[in-house]
Amino acid sequence: MEIIDEPIKGLKLLKPKVFGDHRGYFFESYNKKTFESVGINDEFVQDNQSFSQKNVLRGLHFQTDEFAQAKLVRVISGSVYDVALDIRKGSPTYGKTFGVELNATNQYQFYVPVGFAHGFVTLEDNTVFAYKCSNYYSPGHEGGIMYNDPDLNIDWKVDNPILSEKDRENEVFKLFESPFEYEEK
Ligand SMILES: Cc1cn([C@H]2C[C@H](O)[C@@H](COP(=O)(O)OP(=O)(O)O[C@H]3O[C@@H](C)C(=O)[C@@H](O)[C@H]3O)O2)c(=O)[nH]c1=O
């Protein structure tokens, strides 16, 4: 597995070693020991999967307090543009985003630690998105930031994405008071 530390501290892009043969392919999507060796020490307690048609945008989401979540995300079929927003107060990159295309061909995995809001838009129909979370779902601890906030200026690569009702009412970044603190490691 190749690992790339992205320009925003804490974010990691993982490129697994995929073994292809005449039957198809095989790769390890999670191996505790290997992931710990690259600094991903979270105990993942929940696996999620979502299915979307093209142009669906989910985000930018996070959970707070004792339900804050690190996420390890990937695409099983189809493709997405995946975005993490740094919401750690005091971070040198507070308010900055990093985006990467994840798809069923590159098989990349993207590690998003606690202190980031996360979202993605699907670039193909029938996209299956899967992720591990380091904490359980808690609707009372959910937060969301508007995907198209002018202060964030994220190039989502699509126009007029399909949103949930909830995501139409996410917070404006300027008024958002982050509960996360940046920790120098
Ligand atoms: C996230 C989640 C949702 N649900 C339920 C609540 C709701 O009825 C339905 C759909 O929920 P949502 O609209 O929040 O799903 P969705 O918009 O796909 O939410 C996800 O978006 C991506 C970007 C993330 O980063 C995830 O952490 C998560 O927030 O599923 C659970 O039961 N467990 C969960 O962990």
pLDDT at residue number 36: 96
Q: Contact at 8 Å (CB) between 48 and 152? A: no
Residue 112 alpha carbon, nearest atom of ligand 1: 25
How far is 113 from 151, CA to CA, in rounded Å?
Answer: 22
With the C-alpha atoms ordered 147, 82, 8, 143, is the resulting torsion angle positive or negative?
positive
Ligand 1 centre from 24 Cα, in Å? Answer: 31
Choosing among 2.60.120.10, 2.30.29.30, 2.40.37.20, 2.40.50.140, the CATH entry for 45-103+114-175 is: 2.60.120.10
Domain coordinates in residue numbering, the chain: 45-103+114-175
Give me the interface pTM, i.e. the ipTM.
0.98
Residues 16-64 have pLDDT tens digits of 999 999 999 999 999 999 999 999 999 999 999 999 999 999 999 999 9
Average pLDDT of the chain?
A: 97
Pocket test for ligand 1, best of 42, 45, 58 (most atoms within 8 A of CB): 58
22 among known catalytic residues = no
131 among known catalytic residues = yes
Residue with tokens 């989502």: 156
